[in-house]
């Protein structure tokens, strides 16, 4: 099942796709409205944002000249605040002093149960569903080119989520999904979740060993190779098969 959260007529509504017509959505009250006539929110009540860096083998290789990693490294994890979230069709500011800002197409995992010390083999049963994330980064601000800090990853409205929350029963294997990014209609990034260094189940297991995951917490699982510089005025579309197509507009500072 797919659902979204939108603002229409001054109120927040749950919305659903209209089969065969992507130009419309259906509100929970049965009303159909144009998809571009609403404000799209994150498709769930966002809890803690837990983000992964360097979780695709090809992306690690892409940045190999700047990295000092080994195969035994634990996941590179950092947290983000709610200020960073923006919905489908939203706008993200490109800082005027940035020389290199890039998108990151990521599978976002939404927790559905209180989770603590869960085994790898049981981890996916704690997932409510999945959505698409575009987690922008300003590479100018990175320390040693890969240690994220606040200016890189906690920028206002620089983490787009949506449009749909797809329930876990529709995604039986999160390690079997293709993802891609288009900038102004041109495909610039392609990858597959099978290339993750740490799988979704492994990440949930790892995190739950030292922190209690709550319903609504979201794990951003990293991005594959193919990140390129983007500019104000660009339209960036991040897409994951079976999950959705998330559109974001870059605007000037």
- What the chain holds in terms of domains, given with CATH numbers, is 1-41 (2.30.30.370), 44-252 (3.90.850.10)
pLDDT > 90: percent of the chain: 82
CA distance 203 to 211: 12
Is the CB of residue 41 less than 8 Å from the CB of residue 7? yes
pLDDT > 70: percent of the chain: 91
CA distance 110 to 171: 12
Alpha helices in 141-241 (DSSP H): 150-153, 200-208
Of the given ranges (88-92, 142-146, 159-163), which has the lowest mean pLDDT? 142-146
Name which residue leads in pLDDT, 106 or 54: 106
CA distance 57 to 97: 30
Confidence of residue 68 (pLDDT cuts 50, 70, 90): low
pLDDT at position 139 = 86
* Per-residue pLDDT tens digits for 186-232: 999 999 999 999 999 999 999 999 999 999 999 999 999 999 999 99
Residue 59 pLDDT > 80, yes or no?
no
């Amino acid at each position: 099942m797919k659902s979204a959260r939108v603002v229409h007529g001054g109120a927040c509504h749950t919305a659903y796709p209209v089969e065969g017509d992507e130009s419309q959505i259906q509100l929970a009250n049965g009303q159909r409205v144009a998809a571009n006539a609403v404000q799209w929110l994150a498709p769930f009540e966002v809890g803690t944002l837990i983000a992964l860096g360097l979780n695709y083998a090809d992306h690690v290789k892409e940045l190999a000249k700047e990295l000092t990693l080994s195969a035994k490294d634990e996941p590179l994890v950092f947290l983000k605040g709610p200020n960073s979230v923006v919905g489908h069709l939203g706008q993200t500011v490109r800082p005027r002093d940035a020389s290199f800002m890039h998108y990151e197409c990521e599978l976002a995992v939404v927790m559905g149960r209180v989770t603590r010390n869960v085994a790898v083999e049981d981890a996916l049963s704690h997932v409510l569903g999945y959505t698409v994330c575009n987690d922008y980064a300003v590479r100018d601000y990175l320390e040693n080119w890969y240690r994220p800090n606040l200016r890189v990853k906690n920028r206002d409205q620089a983490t787009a989520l949506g449009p749909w929350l797809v329930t876990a029963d529709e995604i039986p294997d999160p390690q079997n999904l293709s993802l891609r990014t288009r900038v102004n209609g041109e495909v610039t990034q392609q990858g597959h979740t099978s290339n993750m260094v740490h799988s979704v189940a492994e990440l949930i297991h790892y995190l739950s060993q030292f922190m209690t995951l709550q319903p609504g917490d979201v794990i951003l699982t990293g991005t594959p190779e193919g990140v390129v510089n983007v500019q104000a005025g660009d339209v960036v579309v991040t897409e994951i098969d079976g999950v959705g197509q998330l559109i974001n507009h870059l605007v000037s500072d």
